[in-house]
Chains A and B, each alone.
Chain A
Amino acid sequence: MATTTATFSLRSSDLIPSQVLSLTTSKRLYKAGSSSEGVDHLKMGRHKLSSGVAASDLFNADAALNQDKSNYVYISNASTTKSNYVEVTVIGEHIGRLYAGDFMWLPWNADLVTSDISVLAVNGESTIDYALFHEGETLVLVSA
């Protein structure tokens, strides 16, 4: 069991007139259905996505990824070119575009074998940083 904590804040002094926005929330990442046992597996890395290439699965929701378990996804577009963005989809549904510098955080339950999270670079090459905090997976057996 590991102790992993995600903290998020949203701040602005001028988005809402006469009202400072200062929102902070924090959550310890537990296994599904538990309030004491933390997720204890991690995948973390960086990918370069070429433009003009079809969408690729970043996280594959097959049986190895423990469907309906806790999976916390972090993706960031590390690019600096403003016109380049990364399109993120779940089950083929367009979640949105990560422009240069944008990030997202998603508790992903991978409820179906088709619940893959896919990424696609648009307008040019992009580099993404990613992390998946999860409950573990079974490695695929080597083919005979």
Chain B
Amino acid sequence: MATTTATISINSADIMSGQVINLTKSSNLNQAETTTGLVNTTGLAIRTLKATSAEVLVDYSVVLNDDDEMGAKMYIKNNGTSSSQFVTITINSVEICRLYGGDFAFFPYPNDDDRDITATPSTTEEVTIEYMAIF
């Protein structure tokens, strides 16, 4: 068993008048419905994309078992700096988010039913993304 901890902090002193926002949450990444840590990972990968075609980041059939009760998690970041170019992330061909330069996403991954995760840049300008599945 491994112990992996994800933490997010969201801070703003001025998005609300008279109320500082200081939201912090930590979570140990556990197997579904247990307190046992996730033990598998794709490792941290870095990939440069140069075309506007969809690239598979995680192929569920190769990397993961067809088991949506694993408690898998996915981290993806656009390492670019552009505020106009973005990378579209899809699951099972459905757009779930757009990552502009510096944006990141962290979400549970339903590794079942052919739900590959893909990334598609909005332009042919070279962009680097980093990602990691933990399952």
Which A residues have a C-beta under 8 Å from some C-beta of B? 2-16, 21, 23, 25, 27-28, 30, 32-35, 38-42, 44, 74, 76, 82-83, 85, 88, 90-99, 101-109, 111, 115, 129, 131, 133
Contacts and interface: CB of A to CB of B under 8 A. Distances in A.
Q: Is the interface of A mostly helix, strand, loop or mixed?
A: strand
Contacts of B106: 8, 103-105
A83 B31 CA distance: 11
B27 interface: yes
20 contacts: A3-B12, A6-B8, A6-B10, A7-B9, A8-B9, A10-B75, A14-B3, A21-B44, A28-B102, A39-B15, A76-B27, A101-B27, A105-B107, A107-B97, A107-B98, A107-B99, A111-B95, A129-B25, A131-B10, A133-B15
A42 B134 CA distance: 30
Contacts of B102: 25, 27-28
B97 A4 contact: no
B15 to A, nearest CB: 4
A104 B108 contact: yes
